[in-house]
Amino acid sequence: MKLSTFTYSDTNPTAIPNTTIKNPDRTLVVMFGPSHLLDAPAPVQSVLAAYPGAPAIGCSSSGEIFGTHIQDDTLVVALLQFEHTTVRTASAPVTDPGQSFEAAQSLARQLMAPGLRGVLVLSDGLGVNGSELIRGLNTILPAHVVVSGGLAGDGERFKRTWVVKDGLPLGGYVTAVGLYGTAVRLTHGSKGGWDLFGPERLITRSQGNVFYELNHKPALQLYKDYLGELASGLPGTALHFPLSIRQKQEDAKRLVRTILAIDHTAHSLTFAGDMPEGAYAQFMRANFDRLIQGASDAATLATPISTDSAPTLSIAISCVGRRMVLGQRTEEEVEATFDVLPKDVQQIGFYSYGEISPYSTGQCDLHNQTMTLTTISEAA
């Protein structure tokens, strides 16, 4: 596999590597950039025009990751040219959270074919229920297929997001790329690092990813009480206090959920994934050192087993909430991943509204407030 990564902007148009694409079905372009490219898609079009026929996947970000650096208002790109691995893309519309399950099943059916080894999913970050998206994928895809990815971001604005479809940045879609063959190697890791605080409360009223009551009391008011003067910045400021969710109090498995939107009239909160009635929720808060250690732990899980020097791409997807909380220390979490990954690994990524990765082992889950890494390489 040949691999190149670069940053493209209108002020640096010469950054695009001059590469001839010999086998488009064995080529993949991955890109992440700011939400305003919806209005000015020229950078996306310029990059893809350089690699005609190559499958492409990408989405908007709340900050782009390139190597150990975090950037804004740039397009970070990876070009993968496989020797033996074939590539196929798929897409489906999703403009309402209720469409998420069917959209995911459509993606999975489009990609199902002999030799499927991995799927990278990138979705609109606002009009989707991430839990239903994952459930739809898991009902179709075999357990041995590694599924990872994330929900597109829009900084702290929560207004609009995009994914790459038909060579353009477009809102209202979920997209995926399938990787086929025995040569492709995929690893993954996802960790958080938040501290639990306060009592664990019962979710007493919810509908899908729309959340109304904790212990029979309005959840929105509870968030306002915790946030104090920060409540005026909802939903963005709620990222400082995500919720830990588990089905039963004795369960060891916890998933983290963060808010995408609020409805003052209905006194409801819309989360990136399901908030099931009867489950237990507990507030979380930041521990800076543990957040950075979480990124390091994710890299440890994702470090390729092979000791050869094959070109390897690391796709880093971290939650916008981590960036907001870490502030000027945010690059430390990206640096922490590089301290663990092999030195020849190249990395791009983005800050997201949700991360998709297997929970330790097994089928994929939706995560929030994690650093999630996926590595892609190819056996000789």
Q: Could you report the per-residue pLDDT of 51-93, keeping only the tens digit for each?
A: 999 999 999 999 999 999 999 999 999 999 999 999 999 999 9
Average pLDDT over all residues of the chain: 92
126: left (phi over 0), alpha (psi -120 to 50) or beta: alpha
Assess whether pLDDT exceeds 60 at residue 361: no
Query: Looking at residue 178, what is its pLDDT?
Result: 98
Average pLDDT value for residue range 337-363: 87
Burial track 117-143 (b if 16+ CB lie within 10 A, e otherwise): bbbbbbbbbbbbbbbbbbbbbbebbee
Distance CA 178, CA 30 (A): 13
- What is the DSSP annotation of 50-91? TSTT--EEEEE-SSEEETTEEESS-EEEEEEE-SS-EEEEEE
Query: Looking at residue 166, what is its pLDDT?
Result: 94
> What is the model's pTM?
0.90
In the chain, domain spans: 2-191+289-378, 195-285
Assess whether pLDDT exceeds 90 at residue 112: yes
Confidence of residue 156 (pLDDT cuts 50, 70, 90): confident
Q: In terms of pLDDT, which residue wins out, 285 or 277?
A: 277
Query: Looking at residue 360, what is its pLDDT?
Result: 53
218 contacts 205 by C-beta, under 8 angstroms: no
Distance CA 65, CA 331 (A): 9
Residue 260: closest CA among 276, 280, 239: 239
Query: Looking at residue 307, what is its pLDDT?
Result: 58
